[in-house]
Amino acid sequence: MNSKEILLREMLDKVGDTLSEQTISERVSQFIKYGNVFLLFEVMSIRKEIEKIKENIKVIIDILEGENLSGPFKQLEQIEKR
């Protein structure tokens, strides 16, 4: 059993329930072929996803804070409810 097969089996055991065997096999092949460059691109991709999640969280926080208005906006909101 070569290193690629060993890595493929380990990855299937760890993430086989969330990713297809074909996807995992492709990723393992890319890793074996490109090594550190593959890892660099994966890290960059993850960082982009993290930034998107941070932006979404910020929007949600802004919306929630907007619902807890005070001052004239709160008074206006109460008037509209009447």
pLDDT at 16 over 70: yes
pLDDT reported for residue 11: 87
H or E segment and range at residue 68? none
pTM assigned to the model: 0.52
In the block, tokens 């941070």 appear at 54
Rounded (10°) CA dihedral 10, 16, 21, 27:
-60
Q: What is the pLDDT of residues 19-78, one digit of tens each?
A: 888 988 998 898 888 888 888 888 999 999 999 999 999 988 888 877 665 555 555 555
pLDDT reported for residue 72: 55
pLDDT reported for residue 57: 92
* pLDDT average, residue stretch 11-15: 87
In the block, tokens 């969330």 appear at 18
pLDDT reported for residue 82: 54
Phi-psi category of 19—alpha, beta or left, where left has phi over 0 and alpha has psi -120 to 50?
beta
